[in-house]
């Protein structure tokens, strides 16, 4: 395998030449060989969405050059679509607040943005910290990604599945009721109907509660941690997260 040499605050590290991730991800792979488990598609998608929209906000606030912000958004959209899932190589079991996974996303998006702008992977013309991670912290990004993945899972899979289950049960009970009446089993049919109505009422109640919980998950704490810690996320970036 061929490698390129990248540098970070800890020195030089070898990174596979064709990898989009960089030095900090490579170090994390070495530090956390704990399992073969990696983050799910829904979680990686959520990370891509966060990075994409963070770049858009930073551009609107004139905190990123327009060309860099646009390249980051394009690269992050590719992450959201699942194009670079194989580049998310850090073990799901890791230390800290998920910094290694946040940096995995930052480095993949930065290097892909570099290519979009015509540069060479690893040249840092789009920086994973100062550009992709601008105004963010792992303490915010990782919980927000969990919440966003859960929100999409509820709204796109769980809620529709509950609706299909409820409607299917209703159709089935209607069919059973018709058959029972034709066979002269009115009392039995009524008992089944009462049970079915209770069951469907429970489904409606829990579906309503799920909707309320989804609204809670729509509020994200991005940048809040940095402000509470006294940081200045919109000054010249001096942090290395």
Tens of pLDDT, residue by residue over 154-189, are: 878 877 887 787 777 777 767 766 555 555 555 455
Percent of the chain predicted with pLDDT > 70: 71
Q: How far is CA 160 from the centre of its chain?
A: 20
Q: What is the pLDDT of residues 188-240, one digit of tens each?
A: 554 455 455 666 666 666 555 555 565 565 666 675 544 444 445 444 443 33
Averaged pLDDT, 114-135: 95
Residue 152, exposed/middle/buried by CB under 10 A (0-12, 13-18, 19+)?
middle
- Residue 53 scores a pLDDT above 90: yes
Looking at the DSSP bridge assignments, the partners of residue 211 are: none
Average pLDDT, the chain: 82
At 198 the pLDDT is 65
Phi/psi-derived region of residue 207, left when phi > 0, alpha when psi is between -120 and 50, beta in every other case: alpha
Instruction: Read off the pTM.
Output: 0.78
SS (HEC) of the chain: CCEEEEEECCEEEEEECCCCCCHHHHHHHHHCCCCCCCCCHHHHHHHHHHHHHHHHHHHHCCCCCHHHHHHHHHHHHHHHHCCCHHHCCCCCCCCCCCHHHHHHHHHHHHHHHHHHCCCCCCCCCCCHHHHHCCCCCHHHHHHHHHHHHHHHHHHHHHHHHHHHHHHHHHHHHHHHHHHHHHCCCHHHHHHHHHHHHHHHHHHHHHHHHHHHHHHHHCCCCCCHHHHHCCCCCCCCCCCCC
The torsion angles phi and psi of 104, rounded to 5 degrees, stand at -55, -50
Of the candidates 149, 39, 150, the residue with the CA atom closest to the CA atom of residue 104: 39
At 229 the pLDDT is 45
Whole-angstrom distance, CA of residue 150 vs CA of residue 144? 10
């Amino acid at each position: 395998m061929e490698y390129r040499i990248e540098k970070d605050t800890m020195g030089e590290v070898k990174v596979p030449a064709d990898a989009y991730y960089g030095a900090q991800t490579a170090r994390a792979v070495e530090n956390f060989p704990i399992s073969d488990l990696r983050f799910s598609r829904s979680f990686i998608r959520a990370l891509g969405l966060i990075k994409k929209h963070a770049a858009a906000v930073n551009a609107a606030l004139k905190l990123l050059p327009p060309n860099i912000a646009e390249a980051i958004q394009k690269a992050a959209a590719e992450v959201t679509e699942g194009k670079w899932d194989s580049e998310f190589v850090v073990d799901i079991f890791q230390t800290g607040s998920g910094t290694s996974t946040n940096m995995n996303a930052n480095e993949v998006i930065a290097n892909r943005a570099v290519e979009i702008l015509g540069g060479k992977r690893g040249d840092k013309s789009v920086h994973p910290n100062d550009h992709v991670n601008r105004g963010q912290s792992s303490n915010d990004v990782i919980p927000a990604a969990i919440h966003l993945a859960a929100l999409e899972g509820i709204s796109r899979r769980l809620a529709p599945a509950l609706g299909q289950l409820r409607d299917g049960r209703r159709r089935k009970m209607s069919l059973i009721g018709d058959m029972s009446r034709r066979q002269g089993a009115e009392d039995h049919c009524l008992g089944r109907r009462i049970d079915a109505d209770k069951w469907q009422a429970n489904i409606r109640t829990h579906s309503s509660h799920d909707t309320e919980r989804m609204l809670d998950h729509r509020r994200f704490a991005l940048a809040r941690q940095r402000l509470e810690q006294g940081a200045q996320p919109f000054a010249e970036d001096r942090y290395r997260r």
